[in-house]
Amino acid sequence: MNVDTIAVIGAGLMGRGIAHAAATGGYRTLLHDVSAEALDRALKQVVADLDEGVGRGKLASADAEAARKRLAAEADLDRAAAAADFVIEAVPEEMDLKLRVFARLDERCREAAVLATNTSSLSVTEIAAVTRRPARVVGMHFFNPVPKMKLVEVVRGLDSAPEAIDATVEVARRMGKETVVVRESPGFITSRVNAMIGNEAFFMLEEGVASARDIDKALKLGLNHPMGPFELVDLVGLDTRLSVLQFLHQTLGEKYRPAPLLVQHVKAGRLGRKVGRGVYDYPGKD
Ligand code: NAD
């Protein structure tokens, strides 16, 4: 399948990073958002990120300039959809909203276009079912910050066709990403393993196996993790981690039951760096 034009729907944290990767990957890229302000902010941020890439010697300035020229804002969803060979949706994580967006995309996009969702947890199969092209709907799970993170989890829904998966792997490759293909399943690979490690760390802390600092130190120096589990959960947000674990517990069973100490931290308002205190305190940040 030949992909020239990618439409990215939703220009928030993830959408703007995906647009950055698509434009540097050589695609004509149309970025759409319902909010004119978000769209404007996103375009400015992509330009700033491209400049930063040049500054850090990661990108030649001619390539950054070419990428900037390939990227355009499109305030009209129907026009973005009609022009695209491949669509990547990055609107907020709400099923009703995603279903509305996909029904509209399905109406407006060419028959051959592949529709990808960047959902972190929702069912690709359920999203595909509102379209008349479930074989051409896939998951494409990027990581934040998109321009720097290497992996994309390509998610196969019940009806996703091999050609649509192949096209998605190829788009990710041209964006400079590595891929893994996963069958739709709660938490895919990364969130499931990560939630499990993070939860186990809370159980160990609760049992008094070691201090938080030493558990972090052990995983960094002994297992070569770039961050310890408590440093990481403070960055991600303890409330976000708890809701992932609750979802895995509901869908995959008992071994994902959230550790009581994690639940207590959330009840105490210890939500992580964003509020100035999580497992650790961040003085001056609240
Ligand atoms: P965000 O809130 O930063 O951005 C969402 C954007 O979508 C906003 O700019 C909003 O104005 C826009 N939007 C809302 N309704 C829209 C509509 N109907 N049409 C077009 N645009 C619309 O959210 P985000 O963090 O970028 O997350 C987007 C998706 O990516 C979610 O599904 C999320 O689960 C997933 N995701 C997030 C991360 C992360 O680390 N934040 C990582 C992987 C995947």
pLDDT tens sequence across 65-88: 999 999 999 999 999 999 999 999
Evaluate if residue 167 carries a pLDDT over 60.
yes
Q: What is the DSSP string of 206-236?
A: HTTSS-HHHHHHIIIIIH--SS-HHHHHHHH
Evaluate if residue 105 carries a pLDDT over 60.
yes
Q: Which two tokens stand for residue 178?
A: 């590595």
Q: Which two tokens stand for residue 158?
A: 């019940």
The CA-atom distances, in angstroms, between 286 and each of 114, 233, 274, 282 are 44, 17, 8, 8
Query: Mean pLDDT over all residues of the chain?
Result: 96
Please name each of the domains of the chain with its CATH number.
5-183 (3.40.50.720), 190-275 (1.10.1040.10)
CA 240 to centroid of chain Cα atoms:
14
Q: Which two tokens stand for residue 269?
A: 């308002």
Check residue 121 and give its pLDDT.
86
Decide: 144 in ligand 1 pocket, CB within 6 A.
yes
Decide: 34 in ligand 1 pocket, CB within 6 A.
yes
Q: What is the mean pLDDT of residues 259-282?
A: 97
Decide: 7 in ligand 1 pocket, CB within 6 A.
no
Decide: 167 in ligand 1 pocket, CB within 6 A.
no
Decide: 12 in ligand 1 pocket, CB within 6 A.
yes
Over the stretch 41-72, which tens digit does the pLDDT of each residue have?
999 999 999 999 999 999 999 999 999 999 99
Task: For a ligand 1 pocket test, name from 8, 33, 89, 117 the mutation site with the most ligand atoms within 8 angstroms of its C-beta.
Answer: 33
pTM confidence score: 0.92
Atom number in ligand 1 closest to CA 32: 20
| Dist CA 196 CA 187 (whole Å) | 11
| Dist CA 161 CA 128 (whole Å) | 12
Give the residue, by CA position, lying nearest to ligand 1 atom 3.
12
Decide: 117 in ligand 1 pocket, CB within 6 A.
no
* 229-236 vs 190-206: helix crossing angle, rounded to 10: 120
Decide: 38 in ligand 1 pocket, CB within 6 A.
yes
Task: For a ligand 1 pocket test, name from 31, 37, 78, 91 the mutation site with the most ligand atoms within 8 angstroms of its C-beta.
Answer: 91
Atom number in ligand 1 closest to CA 101: 18
Check residue 144 and give its pLDDT.
87
Decide: 142 in ligand 1 pocket, CB within 6 A.
yes
Over the stretch 196-246, which tens digit does the pLDDT of each residue have?
999 999 999 999 999 999 999 999 999 999 999 999 999 989 998 999 999
Check residue 285 and give its pLDDT.
58
The CA-atom distances, in angstroms, between 51 and each of 31, 48, 145, 279 are 19, 5, 16, 35
Evaluate if residue 153 carries a pLDDT over 60.
yes
Reported as a pLDDT band with limits 50, 70 and 90, residue 98 is: very high
Over the stretch 175-185, which tens digit does the pLDDT of each residue have?
999 999 999 99
Strand partners, 272: 277
